[in-house]
Amino acid sequence: AQSVTQLDSQVPVFEEAPVELRCNYSSSVSVYLFWYVQYPNQGLQLLLKYLSGSTLVKGINGFEAEFNKSQTSFHLRKPSVHISDTAEYFCAVSGSNFGNEKLTFGTGTRLTIIP
């Protein structure tokens, strides 16, 4: 079984400032890791994913995340945020075994950009 902890439920950040959204996971098996974004009244959009290989993963909209196996973390970062980044962000994990499509999500972090 897997679990995901997002330590911050809300993060306010000034426009053009950097941001880091934290995510820690727990799993007894190898995992894939994801960050999704949800805008109001919308579904989830994939920002980036880690499957294997380089631990620094780049995604859409200027976001990146670093997989740290020893700390079981997958923190999301952006060097300079924009008003349009205001949304809820979800970290998720799935087992890496074939046929395992189940995503286990964290509780989400609401990112608010202050003009």
Partner 1 sequence: KAGVTQTPRYLIKTRGQQVTLSCSPISGHRSVSWYQQTPGQGLQFLFEYFSETQRNKGNFPGRFSGRQFSNSRSEMNVSTLELGDSALYLCASSLGGSRGRAFFGQGTRLTVV
State the residues that interact with partner 1 by CB under 8 A.
32, 34, 36, 41-46, 49, 51, 90, 94-108
Q: How far is the CB of 79 from partner 1 (least distance, A)?
A: 25
Which CB atom, from 54 or from 115, has the smaller least distance to partner 1? 54
Q: How far is the CB of 76 from partner 1 (least distance, A)?
A: 16
Q: How far is the CB of 57 from partner 1 (least distance, A)?
A: 11
Residue 49 near residue 33 (C-beta atoms within 8 A): yes
Which CB atom, from 38 or from 86, has the smaller least distance to partner 1? 38
Q: How far is the CB of 96 from partner 1 (least distance, A)?
A: 7
Which CB atom, from 9 or from 80, has the smaller least distance to partner 1? 9
Closest C-alpha to 6, from 21, 20, 18, 19: 21
How many angstroms separate the CA atoms of 16 and 53, rounded?
Answer: 30
Which CB atom, from 25 or from 36, has the smaller least distance to partner 1? 36
Going by C-beta distance under 8 Å and a sequence separation of 6 or more, which residues neighbour residue 54? none
How many other CB atoms are there within 10 angstroms of residue 64's CB atom? Answer: 16
